[in-house]
Every structure is written in structure tokens, then in C-alpha cells.
A and B are shown apart, each in its own frame.
Chain A
Amino acid sequence: MKKMLFLSLVFSVLFALVSCDSGSTGDFRISLKLPTDNGNCQDFEYDDEMKGDYTYCINKNDQVLLSIYSKSDVNEDYVYADRKLIRVDSNKNGKEEFTRSLKKGTYYRFFVEVTNANEKLKMTGGVDGIYYDDTKNYSVDIFLSAVGDFTRVVRDRTNPDGTALESYVETDGAKGSAAVTLKNGDVFMAGGYLFDFEEVSNKAMVFDMAKLTSKEVRKLEKPLMDFVAAFVDDGTEKGKVVLGLGREDKETLNDQLWYYNPEKDSYNLLPSIGAAVEKAKAITIDGAAYIVGGCDSNGNGTTGIYKVSFVNGVPSVEPFGNLKVGRCNHALADISDVEIDENGVKTVTPKFAVVGGSIDSKNEGAETPVTGENFIEIVSEGKVEPLSFSSRNGGDDSNLMKTGIIAPSATAITMDDREESEIVIAVAGGYLRDGDSESDYKWVANPSMVVFSKNSGATKKNHKKDETDTGDDDPADTGDAEPADTGDDEPADTGDEDPADTGDTAIDTGDTEPTDTGDTATDTGDTEPTDTGDTGETPAPVSNTAWVYDVNTSPKSCARPSMAALGSEEKSTFKYAVVNCGTSKLERDKRSISNQVIFVLQVKRVKDSDLGVEVFSSSVKDTLMEGNVDVESDARMADGPVVSNGLGQVYALGGKYVYLVGSYAIP
């Protein structure tokens, strides 16, 4: 009897232990983390919608849409898998099952959109690269940020100071640091001159955006500032970071390149490009990094362009071309040709624009800007050409080719509101010489936002006049042989039909988007003398150039900003980019640091019906953050990087905290 009892008890214990284990794996919990607010979320009443701002809340009658994307191979593109729409019935909290099962051995991406009762998109967030294995449990945090606006990333909104995602940069911030988004959505940040310690840093850090934690990783092989860093896809889960060049200290420039392996937390030396340069730039296109220019130890701009890639796991550094004008302090924008065949296979032909900069590296205000026809150069495989451009009336009303812009920010934005997508280049900030003569000028932070686009309108109109159409023969034509669609009948056309408008550089096109929160950009005024609207004659030739630009004034001047495109809604007439502004002063010393200013650039198509040309105008989107700064923060900075991830979310770094700008949609 005793033995029977004993055996049955042992059996029961084992059974219970097995049962404890059998159901405890495969769980996947997603916790939505909200931005810090004034604590009134739970007091929300439906009638209050109009009374207060509940953007940072998930309230009763809101909807939470969780979209799930998956891929079985880390090197494939994500495909849509499932979605769950949750109707919120409480102001306090919520918990819902979002799917019955996830597939073992699959990579997942989750994207969350929160809309209010009026279906206005309030917040978005997401995580990438989660490898699901049903023998483990998962707990993932998704930080939601206001759409088209920035918020400080925090793990617990009730304790923002204690749980904010912090970098190695202290209160006084940094200059010349760099950051890269890894393939799994983590963010790598390194180097820079730290004002608190008054030294160039060799610190490096990885921000885990699925856990909302930061971790210092292996230090750089050398302290570096004004160096290059770019992501390179080697087929692994996280990819690699190519970094190097830049300044080690006041006297020394670095000529070495490494790649950082986030899985092994190690740096491996790459073949040298043979020159020590600083203020070079790097860009990632189709998994390869391109390093462009830089100024050498004599202060002279260099022309070299190098491609860094991994082939079968082996890194290579190879020359990709030479700029026509050696430069540093420039900006890069990816304008690659992308083709997708009927089988969905994507082919990317790398092409990028090199914008502005200086031909030398001296103290601020003593540099020589890149001017003339080489202000923008277009780089593609085996070809480097200056970009021919003009303002809409065929001139150069903003004197871009005369003054140049040093240290601008730039990004390419794909406008897909028409049947054929087109790429425009948005440029903001930087500094330039303001004055008409060579002797009478002053250096100012560039207050303008410029959008360059292909001169489709002019080309089409001038076809009728035949002899004026030189666009196809222009050496700067970047290869788009497609006839431009000016789309006069297009409903998305926000064109200004006002006959009184005589073609200002920055025309007010009237904002028709219901969700638009208002432009704050100001009209730059009548800088163009051309009045072609009321003569009844054929409009003057708009341009014989391949590209045309439009200028608007920014409410914030940024001396050394960085910019990245924000994920925008497909087919929308409005597209967005994020500018990490930094200080408005030219100097980069401790006295010049300022609060971290972040704003969102809104780009839209406008039509100048008088000149028969379409341009793209830009404005600054309103923010919930007073003065475009985090008023709760005491942190400051000089300049810092901005990075985007596969979800179209943009992170602004360079200061003590990490800020996230919520995207409108996955690109």
C-alpha cells in the first residue's frame, strides 16, 4: 500500500512537472509603450476629443491595428501575413490575442497603428526581425510615437527620466557622431566629440528597439568624429556596420576602415582606401555602402568614391568612381533606379546625388563652398555627372550655384501619387555666404528648404516648341527616358490656378489634405521677376535643364542637420522627411550647442500653371512639441545623425536621448 501510494505520488509529480513545461513556450507578448503625456489619458471622455490632445493615449473608441509581416529567409523581403484590428473599450488598458499561431523558424515584423474614433492616425510603431521559435517565449516592446512628430523613447511613460532610452552622450551633447540601423531594427551609434568630456569618443552603443534598452558595446578601435558609418548587408540576421575615416583628435585624421560585427561584438579591419579624410559621407544602397569624398589632412577635398560590400561573406572595398570636384561637408541622396519584374524580382541600379559641401576643410566660415554646375553631382556605375538644374523660370533665383551650401542635409523622396513614381531630392539647412559681392558677405545658416525634381513640366511643354527642348540631350539627364506626366487632369494636382500668381519661387498651393496640421513654412516671396501669366503669349521657356528646384523658408535654421525620409502613405500627395536640426550656429564649440530641434518636412506637388511647370514645395509640419524641442529635457547638442529603419520610422540621435518619429506607413 505504501509503495503504491509512493509510486502514484511520484507519477503525479512528474506529470505535473511535465505539464508545467509543456504549455509555457511559444508565447508572444507585445507590449505597446506610449510616449510621456500629461497623465490625462484615463480621464478621456468621447466628448473630450475636441477639448484636449489625446494623441499619446489609447482611449475608448480608438482602434489598434496590428499588421504582421513575415519571411522565412532573412534575405528575402517581408510579405504581409495577417492583421488584427482591436477596438478599444477602455481608457485604462487592454489585452487581446492577435493571432492563434506564429510559424516556427520565421522572421516577423509587427507594425502598429493607432487611430482615434474619427479614424485619424495618431501613433505608429513597430519592430523588425523577430525570429520566432516556439520553444521560447517572447516579450517584445513596441514604442509608439506620434505620426509625423517626434517623441522621446521611454520604456515607462510614468517615469520618463528613469526609463528613457539614453545614449553615451551626456547633457551637453556631441558633434560628429554617427549612427546606423541594423537589419533587425537595432540602432548602432558611435563616436563623436563629447562636450561633457571635451574629447573625441571611442564609445559605441547598440539600442535594442524591441526591448527599448541600450547597451554599450565594444569601443571603436580609435576615437572618431566626423567619420563615416553605413550599413552593409552580408546576408546575416543583423548585417554589418562599415565605419572609419574621420578625425581622431585635433591633429590626426584616420585612414582606416573597419566593419563592426554586431553578433560577435568585434571590429575587423577592411582594406584601406589609402587616404586619411574627415567629413566624408557614406550611404547604403541595395546592401552595399558607398563612401564619398572627404577632406584630407591638408584640408583639401578628395574625389574618391568607394564601394564596400560583402560577397559570399567576404568584404571588399573597391573604387566606384571619382567626383568632378573634391569635397567634404556634403550630403548624399539615394536616387537609384529600381525595377521590379513580373515575377517580383527587384533590380536596383545604384545612383546617388552628391549635394553641396566645401572643397576644403577649415574653420567654419573660412571654407570654400562647392559652387557652379558641380553643386550637385550624380554618381552611378561608371558615370559621374553634374546635375543641371534651375529654378522654375530657368534661372537660379536662390543663387544655389553661386553661393553653394556647406554641410546641408539631403534625402531622396519617392513621389508615387501619379501612375509613374518619381524621385525628388529634398535639401535643408547647412550654411552659406550671404551677400552679393565677393567682399561683402556674411556666413549664415541656410534658412531654406529646397526640393529638386525632374523638370517634367518644362520638358513636356517645350516639346511643342521643339527647338527649346534640350532636356533629352542634356548630359545631366539622369537617364529617365520616360516622358514626364504633368497630369493636368490628375485629381491629386494641388496646382495653383490663381491667375494672379505670377510664379513665385514658393507659391502657396493651398493645403487640401484634411489631416494636415498646417504649414509653418513661409512663402519666400517674389524672388522671380518673371511674369508670364497675363500677356497672353506663350510662356517663356521654363528651363533647358533636366531638374528644377523650388525653395521655401524653414522656421528653423540648421547649420549641420541630417535628414532621412519618413515612411509615408502610399499614393499620397504628401511625403515626409525628418530633419535632426542641431544648432543654428556655424560654430561647433560648447557655446554654440542648443536644444535638439527636430522637425518634419512635408513635400507636395504643386503646379505653376503660368509657367507650365510642376515643382515640389516643402513646408514644416506642426508638432505637439513646443518649439520643436523636447521641453522636458535639459539635454543639448551641436549636431547628430538621423536614421530610418525598414518600417519607415526615423530615429534622431546625437544627444542624450533617442527620439522617434512615427511613420505614416511602411515604405
Chain B
Amino acid sequence: MKVFTKLLVTLLVICIVLPVYSQEEPQPQAGVNLKVGENFYFEGNINDSANDDKEESMAEIQKTPFYKSTWFITTCAVIVIAGAAVGIYYGTRTDEPNGKTVEWDNK
């Protein structure tokens, strides 16, 4: 049981450390600021739309860090709840976990 608890603690530490240290410094915005009503021309080959999609997709990913992702929050929530449950279980137990035992081995 102690191994299991330690594992939980380790995971929790990872959950804390990774989000904190994985945040990147905000980068200055690149590109062109457009205002409403301004005209602009797109120069280039219209057939390059595939590359545009790719860039757009990358931008989407960069916009949502993984610690905000559903899977990460769900995992951490599960770990938090499990950790709390373990803590409550052991914290509220009145007798010792392994108790006073006598054992032998006939080997």
C-alpha cells in the first residue's frame, strides 16, 4: 500500500511541476495587424491552401497548452481524488496499518 501511495505522490508532483515549468514566455505577435475596412491583397498561389491549413492547425495547438487539455485535467483530477481518498483512509484510521503481528516461515 505504501508503494501505491508513493506512486500517487510522485504522479501528483509531476502534475504540479510540469504545468508550472512548461509555460512559455509570451512571444511578441508576428504578422500584420488588420483593421476593419482595410483592403488587403493576398499575394501568392491559391493552391498553397494546404500549407495555410497546416499553419492554422499549429496555431490552434499552440493556443491550448496541454495542461489545459481535457485529458490532463481529468488525469490530475483522478489523481487528486485518489490521493485525497488514500489520505482520508489513512488519516482517519484508528489502528495501525500493519498492527502487531507474529509470523513464521517453515521453508
On A, residues with C-beta under 8 Å from B are 2, 5-6, 8-10, 12-13, 15-20, 22-32, 34, 41-42, 57-59, 64, 66, 84, 86, 91-102, 112, 157-158
A263 to chain B, nearest CB (A): 27
In the bound complex, how far is the Cα of B73 from the Cα of A273, in angstroms? Answer: 82
Residues 1-55 (chain B) with a chain A CB within 8 angstroms: 2, 5-6, 8-9, 12-13, 15-16, 19-20
* Pairwise interchain contact A20-B9, C-beta atoms closer than 8 A: yes
Q: B84: which A residues are within 8 A, CB to CB?
A: 12, 15
Q: B97: which A residues are within 8 A, CB to CB?
A: 23-24, 27
In the complex, which residue of chain A has the Cβ closest to the Cβ of B14? A9
* Pairwise interchain contact A15-B102, C-beta atoms closer than 8 A: no
10 A-B residue pairs with CB within 8 Å: A9-B76, A9-B80, A16-B12, A18-B87, A19-B91, A22-B91, A41-B106, A66-B102, A84-B102, A94-B103
In the bound complex, how far is the Cα of B86 from the Cα of A372, in angstroms? Answer: 80
* Pairwise interchain contact B16-A10, C-beta atoms closer than 8 A: yes
B73 to chain A, nearest CB (A): 7
Q: Could you say which of A6, A92, A99 contacts B100, with CB atoms under 8 Å apart? A: A99
B65 to chain A, nearest CB (A): 10
In the bound complex, how far is the Cα of B93 from the Cα of A353, in angstroms? Answer: 58
Q: Could you say which of B5, B15, B107 contacts A19, with CB atoms under 8 Å apart? A: B5
In the bound complex, how far is the Cα of B19 from the Cα of A533, in angstroms? Answer: 104
Q: How many residues of B contact A (CB 8 A)?
A: 38
In the bound complex, how far is the Cα of B89 from the Cα of A16, in angstroms? Answer: 10
* Pairwise interchain contact A19-B89, C-beta atoms closer than 8 A: yes
In the bound complex, how far is the Cα of B104 from the Cα of A58, in angstroms? Answer: 8
Q: Could you say which of B9, B98, B99 contacts A13, with CB atoms under 8 Å apart? A: B9
Known: A6-B16, A6-B19, A101-B95. A12 touches B87 (CB 8 A): yes
Of the listed residues A5, A8, A15, A16, the one surrounded by the most CB atoms of chain B closer than 10 A to its CB is: A16
| B69 CB-CB contact with A under 8 Å | no
* Pairwise interchain contact B90-A22, C-beta atoms closer than 8 A: yes
Instruction: Apart from A58-B104, A101-B100, list 9 A-B contacts with CB within 8 A.
Output: A5-B73, A15-B87, A19-B86, A29-B100, A30-B103, A42-B107, A94-B103, A99-B100, A101-B95
* Pairwise interchain contact B90-A31, C-beta atoms closer than 8 A: no
In the bound complex, how far is the Cα of B104 from the Cα of A29, in angstroms? Answer: 11
Number of CB contacts from chain A to chain B under 8 A:
135
Query: Is chain B's binding surface mostly helix, strand, loop or mixed?
Result: helix
In the bound complex, how far is the Cα of B102 from the Cα of A94, in angstroms? Answer: 8
| B60 CB-CB contact with A under 8 Å | no
Q: B70: which A residues are within 8 A, CB to CB?
A: none
* Pairwise interchain contact B12-A97, C-beta atoms closer than 8 A: no
* Pairwise interchain contact B107-A93, C-beta atoms closer than 8 A: yes
In the bound complex, how far is the Cα of B80 from the Cα of A22, in angstroms? Answer: 19
In the bound complex, how far is the Cα of B60 from the Cα of A19, in angstroms? Answer: 41
* Pairwise interchain contact A13-B13, C-beta atoms closer than 8 A: yes
Q: B95: which A residues are within 8 A, CB to CB?
A: 100-101
On B, residues with C-beta under 8 Å from A are 2, 5-6, 8-9, 12-13, 15-16, 19-20, 67, 73, 76, 79-80, 83-84, 86-91, 93, 95-107
B52 to chain A, nearest CB (A): 32
Q: Could you say which of A10, A29, A99, A157 contacts B103, with CB atoms under 8 Å apart? A: A29
* Pairwise interchain contact B100-A97, C-beta atoms closer than 8 A: yes
Known: A24-B97, A29-B98. A34 touches B9 (CB 8 A): no
* Pairwise interchain contact B93-A23, C-beta atoms closer than 8 A: yes
In the bound complex, how far is the Cα of B103 from the Cα of A64, in angstroms? Answer: 10
In the bound complex, how far is the Cα of B86 from the Cα of A23, in angstroms? Answer: 11
* Pairwise interchain contact A58-B2, C-beta atoms closer than 8 A: no
* Pairwise interchain contact A23-B90, C-beta atoms closer than 8 A: yes
Known: A16-B12, A16-B87, A27-B98. A8 touches B103 (CB 8 A): no
A103 to chain B, nearest CB (A): 12
In the complex, which residue of chain B has the Cβ closest to the Cβ of A97? B99
* Pairwise interchain contact A19-B87, C-beta atoms closer than 8 A: yes
* Pairwise interchain contact B91-A18, C-beta atoms closer than 8 A: yes
Q: B12: which A residues are within 8 A, CB to CB?
A: 9, 12-13, 16
In the bound complex, how far is the Cα of B104 from the Cα of A31, in angstroms? Answer: 6
A36 to chain B, nearest CB (A): 12
Q: B105: which A residues are within 8 A, CB to CB?
A: 92-93
Q: Could you say which of A5, A13, A25, A112 contacts B19, with CB atoms under 8 Å apart? A: A5
Q: B101: which A residues are within 8 A, CB to CB?
A: 27-30, 95-98
* Pairwise interchain contact B83-A15, C-beta atoms closer than 8 A: yes
In the complex, which residue of chain B has the Cβ closest to the Cβ of A58? B104
A135 to chain B, nearest CB (A): 12
B66 to chain A, nearest CB (A): 13
Q: B9: which A residues are within 8 A, CB to CB?
A: 13, 16-17, 20
In the bound complex, how far is the Cα of B98 from the Cα of A28, in angstroms? Answer: 8
* Pairwise interchain contact A34-B98, C-beta atoms closer than 8 A: no
Of the listed residues A9, A22, A41, the one surrounded by the most CB atoms of chain B closer than 10 A to its CB is: A9
Q: B76: which A residues are within 8 A, CB to CB?
A: 5, 9
* Pairwise interchain contact B96-A23, C-beta atoms closer than 8 A: yes
A131 to chain B, nearest CB (A): 15
Q: A20: which B residues are within 8 A, CB to CB?
A: 2, 5-6, 9, 90
